[in-house]
Chain A
Amino acid sequence: MLDKKYTKGIVVPNNYKTISTNIIKAPLPNKIVLSLQQQYTNNQAIPCVKIGEKVLTGQIIATPQDSIGTPVHSSISGTVTAINNQVIPHKSGLKIKSITIESDGKDNWIEKSNYVDNFLNKDKLELINCIKNAAIVGLGGAGFPTHAKLENIKNCKTIIINGSECEPGIMCDDALMQNYAKEILGGIEILLHITGAKNVIIAIEDDKKKSFEILSKYNNNDVVKIKKIPTKYTSGSEKILIKHLLGTEIQSGKFPVNFGILCQNIATTKAIFDAITIKKPLISRIITVTGSSIDNPTNYEVRIGSSFSHIINLSKPNTDNYDVRMGGMMMGIDIKDTKIAICKTTNCIFVNKAKQKPIAKECIRCGQCNQSCPINLLPQQLYWYAKSENIDKAINYKLLDCIECNCCTYVCPSDIELVDYFTFAKSLYRKQTKEQKQADIARERFEYREYRLERNKLERAEMLAKKRKELKQKMINDKEQKDKILSAMNRVKTKNAVK
């Protein structure tokens, strides 16, 4: 049962070659494209450079509009050549306003500050501000701004550092742990200082023995514990990881923050260390390049905004006819145009021999999807309702709890792209609720207008009636007055007549 020990998840066969854990610095790109899109807020960053302006590496080129947003830094030195809409690596193929910078090949940095090691004396808010200015976002995949996470957490009890890469083939965090163990542990010290948490758990999959050893060797803080989790797909998913480590089941609709748990990706932790100690903004990240068309899979340190083709060409694919996928084989997205730029959450690039997707057959309700679902949903039923656009029923079957991990799609014997149906149904639901909201507002407005008109009518009638009454009274008064005058006149007349 789910209540006791969590045993769900699927073992995806790892057909990818093992990678040496060296990290190779990728040569500077000739051109970078940085999208101004901000994660988790609709307000884009506003450019603070003009076309033709020279910029330095690490210089802020766009500033956020709200408190969730982060600034955008140039990742190379050179000249701004365009500020226009560019395709971003997203399922939708959306075009977002971006800044293009041509490299001058020099990589001139903005003034680098000296190494700061007395960060433990600094104020928490100052540190969070540092993290914000370095534009650090969650590097695990969701890209949630780290400062917003740190600002929101209250009574933090546990920090979980997610060092698991449960999708087969991705090795960038493994390489990071083996090369930057000290930095990672330093980043953890900073997080402990900011949040005041009492314990830290670093979660590593049980097949990453070397990373485990290296981290254990450098770790001399009793508060920090390194735990192994099973090498299964979706073990690294936030809520499921918490279930594995702490046994706490985060209710649907709630976040770990509500339970005093802070989850950070291991690469984010290293980025925090760099931001605080050497004031280095997040302008590069480690990316695994692998896949069936790559003979020597490698981990590269790549500047954010480099194009996919720039990175792929470093690894020399053994064929010209390949498919590119960003992220893991399970949850990643297919990249059709390799000229577009990578973003901060690009952890892996798969270059696979071009293959035709099998044609989907009918669902035979075999139930394998339900067996594989880490959330224990019924994808076979959801599929019915999503396909027939019966959104109410789909919501009833907990459509919104789907984490889109693609386990069901992977196991489906009929090759149905189940998750695509669910994403579609979710967007339909969002549209429906939005329309419903708008309809509600319109109805309320209409009803208020009706009420207002009615009220005006009543008020007017009341006013008229009042006026009429007043007039009548006045007339009566006038008549009395006239009568009085008349009688007075008559009296005078009769008096005169008597005289």
Chain B
Amino acid sequence: MLLNNKLNTSQIMFQVICALSLGIAANYYYFGWGIIFQIILAIITSIIVESIFLSIRKLPIKSTITDFSGILTAILLAVSIPSIAPWWIIVLGTSFAIIFGKHIYGGLGHNPFNPAMLGYAFLLISYPLQMTTWANVFLDIGQSFDLIFNAKSFNAISGATLLDDIKTKLSLGKFVNEIYTTSDSQIWINIGFLLGGIYLLIRKIIYFHIPLAFLLGLSLTSLILSLIDSDLYMPFYFHLTTGATMLGAFFIATDPVSSSTTPIGRLIYGFCIGVLVIIIRVFGGYPDGIAFAVLLMNITVPLIDYYTKPKIFGDKN
């Protein structure tokens, strides 16, 4: 490996934030200003909450805030939730992620769970209605503001996600061929995150193991299901381009702190998340399964790491 591009921890976090911008831009293009408000709210909340906690823990505030890890967590949560969710959703979620996902365990580097996904899971369980109402048209700055801060609801412009919609229809006994549609917005948002992920791979900020294994696990499981009965299960390319697949593969599952750290371990970790995502999407009660799949696999990380130690130079076996 060549080392001319040595980055420090803050720069790594900052690069990840930059890489997210393509997916965010795609989201803005289709659904308007909501995502921008959510991100701003999330960043402000994370800085305030983190400052309070750092002062309680008597730790330097400025150097910790500028490592951008808290801000990255906030942005990841903001892009995961519906862009028209009321303001207190993201404030509550970010606070939960920063406090219970990170500082309770001792701050950056000590958290066993992905903080953003912990925040997401908390919100999804506590506020299922707000967390499953998504925008389906472009909203200008005023409309977005009204939705987020004044809690006005516009039924015409909001609804369930494609994943949720398909799931409901399938459960009503419809066949895949009858209901199969593609959504440009879903595809382009996923492409945005995919491109950002490829940038991170090129800069060697993330390793290929987790995204590759994740996408492989997801595709393989959905392929097997659709081979069993193509009328009841959506094809694998649908799953690849829908929901938070690419965001999960390149930005969520690759969180270095809470993921497996050995090369083989990363493959197992990523693959299992991919499999779990499909199982939760198809058989579970929630529309998308990234958060739960990641959190479930976080628990197994110490075990995976222990059994996948690489062969060292001069090892007898």
Chain A contact residues, CB within 8 Å of chain B: 2, 8, 10-13, 239-240, 243, 249-252, 254, 358-359, 361-367, 370-372, 374-378, 380-381, 397-398, 401, 410-411, 413-415
Contacts and interface: CB of A to CB of B under 8 A. Distances in A.
Contact of A413 (B8, B310, B315): B8
Interface in B272-317: 305, 309-316
Contacts of A243: 313
A221 to B, nearest CB: 31
A280 B109 CA distance: 57
Given A361-B108, A378-B262, A378-B305, 12 more contacts: A8-B313, A239-B314, A240-B313, A252-B314, A361-B9, A362-B109, A367-B207, A370-B310, A378-B309, A411-B6, A413-B8, A414-B8
Contacts of B207: 367, 371
B11 to A, nearest CB: 8
Given A361-B67, A364-B257, A365-B261, A11 B1 contact: yes
A487 B184 CA distance: 136
A413 B305 CA distance: 21
B312 A366 contact: no
A380 B110 CA distance: 12
Contacts of B256: 364-367
A366 B12 CA distance: 10
Nearest to A371: B1
24 contacts: A2-B313, A11-B2, A11-B3, A12-B3, A240-B313, A251-B316, A359-B63, A361-B8, A362-B108, A362-B110, A364-B256, A365-B109, A367-B207, A367-B256, A370-B262, A370-B310, A371-B1, A376-B312, A378-B262, A398-B315, A401-B312, A401-B313, A413-B6, A413-B7
A363 B310 contact: no
Contacts of B67: 361
Contact of B313 (A11, A239, A365): A239
B3 A13 contact: yes
Interface residues of B, number: 33
Given A376-B313, A381-B305, A364 B9 contact: yes
B294 to A, nearest CB: 15
B4 interface: yes
A361 B68 CA distance: 12
A240 to B, nearest CB: 7
B1 A13 contact: no
Contact of A375 (B3, B107, B263, B312): B312
Contacts of B257: 364-365
B261 A414 contact: no
B9 A414 contact: yes
B79 to A, nearest CB: 21
A375 B312 CA distance: 5
Contacts of A401: 312-314
Nearest to A7: B1
B197 to A, nearest CB: 16
Most buried by B among A358, A361, A415: A361
B297 to A, nearest CB: 15
A252 B312 contact: yes
Nearest to B314: A252
A401 B261 CA distance: 19
Given A361-B67, A364-B108, A370-B261, A252 B3 contact: no
Contacts of B109: 362-365, 414
B252 to A, nearest CB: 15
Given A376-B310, A378-B310, A13 B4 contact: yes
A335 to B, nearest CB: 25
B3 A411 contact: yes
A10 B2 CA distance: 6
A411 B2 CA distance: 10
A469 B109 CA distance: 80
Interface string B15-54: 0000000000000000000000000000000000000000
B312 A398 contact: yes
A254 B314 CA distance: 9
The 8 closest A-B pairs by CB, nearest first: A362-B109, A252-B314, A375-B313, A366-B256, A362-B108, A413-B9, A414-B9, A376-B312
B5 to A, nearest CB: 10
Nearest to A367: B261
Nearest to A361: B9
Contacts of A11: 1-3
Given A364-B9, A364-B108, A380 B261 contact: yes
Contact of A249 (B259, B309, B313): B313
A10 B3 contact: yes
Interface string B91-121: 0000000000000000111100000000000
A112 to B, nearest CB: 45
Contact of B315 (A13, A252, A359, A397): A252
B46 to A, nearest CB: 17
A247 B315 CA distance: 14
A252 B311 CA distance: 12
Nearest to A250: B314
Contacts of A8: 313
A252 to B, nearest CB: 4
Interface string B253-267: 000110101110000
Contacts of B315: 251-252, 398
A429 to B, nearest CB: 17
Interface string B196-209: 00000000000100
Contacts of A398: 312, 315
B109 to A, nearest CB: 3
Contact of A376 (B4, B8, B261, B311): B311
A247 B316 CA distance: 15
A439 B69 CA distance: 47
A250 to B, nearest CB: 6
Contacts of B263: 370
Most buried by A among B9, B257, B259, B311: B9
A365 B109 CA distance: 7
A249 B55 CA distance: 52
A276 B107 CA distance: 63
A296 to B, nearest CB: 26
B312 A377 contact: yes
